[in-house]
């Protein structure tokens, strides 16, 4: 299926997005698939999830937000001290373009991603609740302070660099960038999948977030599986994608 390039004006410069469309005439229900990392990028290559969504009638938009690699050092380093919030500004700009251009149906917009993309999904549902219809978050950071204390030492060092210190040193930055801070603002049904033995995004911080969803009466589902930060077993990966498709089928208008 062809991939189109889109360059969208954002608050930090032009944002590159990759767009795939199903057959027919839009506006389409649209999945905004957010990559992990954040030091990574989406490219024009076959990927399982976008292909499956397009086959089910969705447009797919993948966004190389600030923090992505491949667009220069300044673009990659732009996240410092406002983690998550910078990326969401770029995602919102691309969302606005997708709606205004007639590609995306504003009543059927899914924010989705895994790892850092899962983190941005949960953060986006709380910080930008008016923008999204559903959320799909795989192995996310959900409670940043708890995640910091439970993650591998190398990741703690990365977080200290990006935030400008540990949670005890700059607590306001971690609070501003943590999805759990914004649970009460979430409007969209949210689906979370999590590995029970994940050393990067530990399960306990996800459980903290889920408990807050439950106390707030938010529509949600969580799928827990016996693995770490994702699964390398094809049958399990297919199962996880099928569960996401089924969740969207149940909850999308």
Question: Is pLDDT at 43 greater than 90 in this prediction?
Answer: no
Contact 135, 191 (CB under 8 A): yes
Is the predicted pLDDT of residue 32 greater than 90, yes or no? yes
**pLDDT reported for residue 7:** 98
- Residues 185-196: tens digit of each pLDDT: 999 999 999 999
Name the CATH topology of 4-251.
Answer: Rossmann fold (3.40.50)
Catalytic residues: 115, 198, 229
pTM attached to this predicted model: 0.95
* Torsions phi, psi for 252 (to 5 deg): -75, 135
Instruction: Decide if pLDDT at 198 tops 80.
Output: yes
Span 163-180, average pLDDT:
96
pLDDT tens track for 133-150: 999 999 999 999 999 999
Predicted pLDDT at 48: 82
Q: Which of 161-165, 170-174, 181-185, 227-231 has the lowest mean pLDDT?
A: 227-231
DSSP 112-168: EEETHHHHHHHHHHHHSTTT-SEEEEES---SHHHHHHHS-HHHHHHHHHHHTS-TT
């Amino acid at each position: 299926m062809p991939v189109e390039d889109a360059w969208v004006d954002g608050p930090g410069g032009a944002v590159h997005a990759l767009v795939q469309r199903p057959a027919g005439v839009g506006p389409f229900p649209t999945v905004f698939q957010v990559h992990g990392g954040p030091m990574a990028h989406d490219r024009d290559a076959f990927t399982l999830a976008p292909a499956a969504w397009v086959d089910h009638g969705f447009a797919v938009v993948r966004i190389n937000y600030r923090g992505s690699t491949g667009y220069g050092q300044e673009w990659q380093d732009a996240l410092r001290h406002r983690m998550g919030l910078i990326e969401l500004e770029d995602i919102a700009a691309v969302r606005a373009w997708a709606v205004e251009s007639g590609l995306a149906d504003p009543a059927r917009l899914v924010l989705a991603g895994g790892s850092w993309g899962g983190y941005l999904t949960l953060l986006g549902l709380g910080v930008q609740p008016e923008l999204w219809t559903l959320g799909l978050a795989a192995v996310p950071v959900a409670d940043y302070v708890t995640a910091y204390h439970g993650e591998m030492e190398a990741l703690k060092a990365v977080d200290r660099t990006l935030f400008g210190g540990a949670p005890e040193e700059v607590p306001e930055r971690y609070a501003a960038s943590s999805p759990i801070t914004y649970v009460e603002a979430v409007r969209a049904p949210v689906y979370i999948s999590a590995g029970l033995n994940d050393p990067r995004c530990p399960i306990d911080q996800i459980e903290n977030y889920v408990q807050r969803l439950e106390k707030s009466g938010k529509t949600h589902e969580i799928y827990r599986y016996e693995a770490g930060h994702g699964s390398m077993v094809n049958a399990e990966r297919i199962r996880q994608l099928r569960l996401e498709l089924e969740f969207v089928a149940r909850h999308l208008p």
